[in-house]
């Protein structure tokens, strides 16, 4: 049976089949790749002493000083209660300091400590290292084409 005769959802198509990747619906292929990349990214960050949410937080803190925790949550793409949980852990670990804004006592400012700066450096090295590994063997033209296809897929998905 040829690849064109097999249904994309056919149980006759298996991972052991050389035609498997070509037979996957594009959405499933994308999700499968995204999960594998996320596992790799989480593994690299964990080896460096962090996680994806922690990376998002320290990256946002490194980029600028946020007026409030709510602004930091939006910048890091993390919802409020989850941010508070991570900030509590980072504060206990000596990675951040929280203080009341002297001009607005309701607002809490968050800043990286020296240990937090070191955590940022390790996580940054891990993220850059994975990015370099993922780019191995890909030309600039292939990367540009990939970005174009990703953009169209997101557009087609309504994102």
- Report the CATH fold assignment for 51-133: Arc Repressor Mutant, subunit A (1.10.10)
Q: Tell me, what DSSP letter sits at residue 109?
A: E
Give the model's confidence band at 7: pLDDT under 50 very low, under 70 low, under 90 confident, else very high: low
Higher pLDDT, 159 or 73: 73
Domain boundaries, the chain: 51-133
Q: Which of 42, 51, 104, 101 is nearest to 76 (CA)?
A: 51
Beta carbons within 8 Å of 143's beta carbon, 6+ residues apart: 135
pLDDT attached to residue 1: 46
d(CA 146, CA 110): 37
Cβ–Cβ < 8 Å for 86, 53: yes
pLDDT tens across 116-136, in order? Answer: 999 999 999 999 999 999 999
């Amino acid at each position: 049976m040829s690849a064109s005769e097999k249904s994309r959802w056919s149980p006759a198509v298996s991972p052991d089949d050389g035609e498997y990747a070509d037979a996957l619906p594009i959405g499933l292929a994308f999700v499968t790749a995204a999960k594998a990349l996320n596992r790799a990214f989480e593994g690299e960050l964990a080896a460096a002493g962090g996680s994806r949410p922690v990376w998002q937080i320290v990256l946002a803190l490194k980029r600028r000083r946020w007026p409030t925790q709510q602004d930091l949550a939006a910048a890091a793409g993390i919802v409020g209660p989850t941010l508070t949980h991570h900030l509590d852990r980072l504060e206990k670990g000596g990675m951040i300091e929280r203080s009341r804004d002297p001009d607005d006592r309701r607002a809490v400012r968050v800043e990286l400590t020296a240990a937090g700066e070191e955590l940022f450096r390790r996580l940054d090295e891990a993220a850059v290292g994975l990015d370099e590994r993922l780019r191995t063997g890909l030309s600039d033209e292939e990367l540009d084409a990939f970005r174009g296809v990703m953009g169209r897929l997101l557009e087609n998905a309504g994102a």
